[in-house]
Each structure stands twice: as C-alpha cells, then as structure tokens.
Amino acid sequence: MRRSRSTGPRRAATTSLPVDAGFADVVISNGEINLTPDKMTALKEIFRDLKPGCRIRIGDIAVHVEVPQEAKDDIDLWSD
C-alpha cells in the first residue's frame, strides 16, 4: 500500500501514482497522457486513485493527422 504523508500537489508518472486507492479529490494531468505509451493503464490508475464522485482534469494536445515516426522519435520535439 502506498501511503501518502501529506496533501497537496505531487509530481508522478501517470501509470504509478504515489497514493492509496480512493485518496484523491482531483487528479490533474497537464500534457502527460498523450506522452504515455500505455494510456489505458494511465487512465485506470487515475480512476483508481480518485475518491468516488471526484474529478479528473486533463489538458493535452490533440492532432488530427498521423504524427510521423521520426517526429515521435525526436524527444526534443516533445519536451523542454
């Protein structure tokens, strides 16, 4: 069981959030899910961590065309 010692913002991988199930009132993902290879696992983890009836806020990038593989492989295009 992953115990949380305090409340407040945390930075963590979307596929392994450092809190117990049903801990969070809100999960905010800003630009993370589109970079996560296993999106289904990420979403399952987010919903596992939320209290019943609580919220998720997602800010992300959407494209309407296929991204070329060379662009996907160029980490400088996707990060600071």
Q: pLDDT tens across 4-54, in order?
A: 555 677 777 777 777 888 888 888 888 888 778 888 998 999 899 899 999
Paired tokens of 7 = 């409340």
Q: 72 vs 47, which has greater pLDDT?
A: 47
69 CB-near residues (< 8 Å, 6+ apart): none
Average pLDDT on 62-71 reads 85
Whole-number Cα distances in Å, 37 to 14, 34, 50, 69 = 11, 8, 22, 14
Q: Which amino acid is at 16?
A: S
Paired tokens of 63 = 């494209």
Residue 1: predicted pLDDT: 46
The predicted model scores a pTM of 0.61
Residue 7: predicted pLDDT: 66
Domain residue spans of the chain: 1-62
